Structure 1
Amino acid sequence: MSRNPERNDRKSGKKPAFGDRSAPRSGGPGAGAKGKPEGGPDRGGWNPNPKPKSFSDSAPRPSRAKADADNFVWGRHPVIAALANPARKGMGRLLATADRAAELERDRLANGHRIEIIEAQALDRMLPPGAVHQGLAFKVQPLEGVALEDIAGDGGVIVMLDQLTDPQNVGAIFRSALAFGAKGIVVQDRHSPALAGALAKASAGATERLPCARVTNLSRALETLADMGWRAVGLDGSAELTLEEALDERPTVLVMGSEGDGIRRLVAEHCDVLAKIPMPGGFESLNVSNAAAVALYEAHRKQSS
C-alpha cells in the first residue's frame, strides 16, 4: 500500500502544515484523549519517528511453497510429459483447474492418475511466487536418475554439467540436449538441482524423457566413460582449439562448466581436449545454456557427416 501524507487531509481540503511548529504533536500536550503515544503513527499518515521493530532471534521459517518446490512439476508441457513417463505411474497428486481437467480427460492424458480440480488462485498459493503453472501441477518425488552405464552403451553425445546450479540454465540444457538427440545428461549429485520445479518448467518436459545420471565424482565418471570408448571435450573460452576442430565422429562427452568458474581444474584435466566457440562478433561469452545448444548442434553435425 502506498503511503500518501495527504491522504488524511482530503476530506477537509486542507494541506498538511509540516512547517507549523505551533500545531499540537500527536500524543503531546493538547492532543486529546485520542492522541497516539509519541513515536506512533498518525492515523494512516507518514510517521517520521516510527517505533523500532522487534526481531525474533530465531531463523525465519521458509514458506511452504518454497520448501515443496522440488516436489512439484508445473506447467502444461512438463506435467503432460510427467504423466506420460512410465516411472511416474501410480504416484503423485495431480492438480488441475476445471478447464485443464476437461482437457486431460478429453485427450486421455491423465494415464490413470486421479485429477483433483482446484481454483487457479489456490494453485498460485501452493507453488513458488511467479510459477507459471497454466492450470496444472503434479506433486511427485524427484526422479532418481539412471546408472552412468545405462546412457553410455550406444555412442553418440552425452552432456556433463560441472556444478551448474541455476534451474533455468539446467532446464534449458535438457531441452536442447533432447532436441539434438543426446543420449543423456550427467551431473554431480551434491551440486545439482532436483529435476522438478523451475528446472522441469524450463525443460518443457525434457527431464521426463532424457535420462540423467547423478554421480558422486565427475572425474571418476569421465574415467569410466573413457574406458568405454568415450572422448571428453570440455568447453573453455580460453582454449586454443575451436569446437569444430576438436570434435569428430567418435562418442563424445561435452563437458560444460558453471558460468562463473567454468570447468573445475581436476575435471578439465580429465578431458581429452578443451575447445572454445569462436565469436567473430567480439562479444566475450554466451550464456551456458546457449553455449550448450551451439555445442550440441556442432557435435550432432560432426557425427552425422
Structure 2
Amino acid sequence: MTAPNDGSMPLIRQDVPTPARMYDYCLGGKDNFPVDRAAVLAVHKQFPEGVTEARNNRLFLYRLVRYLARDAGIRQFLDMGSGLPTQANVHQVAQQFQPDARVVYVDNDPIVLAHGRALLADDRTTTVIAADMTEPERILGDPETRKLIDFSRPVAALFLSIGHSIVDDDRLRSMFEKVWGVLPPGSHLAFSQVCGVDRATVDEGNEMTRRLGLTWRNRTVQEVVDLLRGLEPAETVEPGLVKVVDWRPDPDQPTLEHVDEPLRPYLESPPENQRSMECGILLRKP
C-alpha cells in the first residue's frame, strides 16, 4: 500500500498486524495497536527470543551506521523499509559523526509515512518517500531521492530486518542487484533478517506467521548467503554474516527504552536453547 499522488494518506488499518508496528512494540514504542501487541505475544509463545532479537537488531543499526559514518566516511544513506521513527534513527546516528549526512527513508506502511513526515517536516537533509522497496527503479528515480542522494559519491543502502517481509527469493535478489548496480565504488550494502537454526524451525516460524496473517518468511543462514551471492564485486566487512549481537559489539553504546510489562519476562529470562536469531552482514563495493 503506497500513498496516493494527491498527498493524502491511505487508511491505517487497525484490524491486522504489521511488522513495523510489531517491531515498534518490541522496542518500547507507543505507535502500535492491540492487534500488533497480540501478534507479538503470540509469536513469543513459540519463539520467546523474538523481543530480544528485535532489540538486538536496533542496537546493530546504531553500531552499523556509526561505523559507516565515523569510520567509512559515508555521508549518504538510503534506508529501505525503514519502519517507524524510534530511538537512534539513521539520520540521528549518522549526523553525530557526519553533520551534513543525508538520509532517504523508504516505506509503504501508512503509519510509518505519517509519523516520519511529521518528524522530518523541517529537516532539509532527510526525507521519507512512499514506495514499495521491491520497486527499486521507482525509488532510485524518485525526485526526492535524487534531490538528496548524489549517486556519483558513496552511498550506504540499508536493508535491515526487511528480508523476512519479502517471501519471494527472486524478488528480493533482484532488489539487491538493482540497487547494488547503481551504487558507486566505496558504497556499502547492509542486510539483516530473522533466521532459524534449521529447516524445521524455519518452516515452523513461517507457518506461525502465516496463521497470524503476516506476509513473512524466515530463512536459513545458507539461504541468506545464496541471496547475496550475485552482488559482485563485493568485499565483506568483518566480521561477515553473523548474529547481529555479535557484529562489532559495544557494551557502552546507548541503550533502548524499556518494554511494556507483558514483554519483560522474555527479556529477564531468555530461553536456554534459542531457535531463531537476527543475522546481519555489511558489504562494501570496491
Q: Same fold (TM over 0.5)?
A: no
| Greater helix share, structure number | 2
Q: Flag the structure with more relative contact order, 1 or 2, with Cα contacts below 8 A and sequence separation at least 6.
A: 2
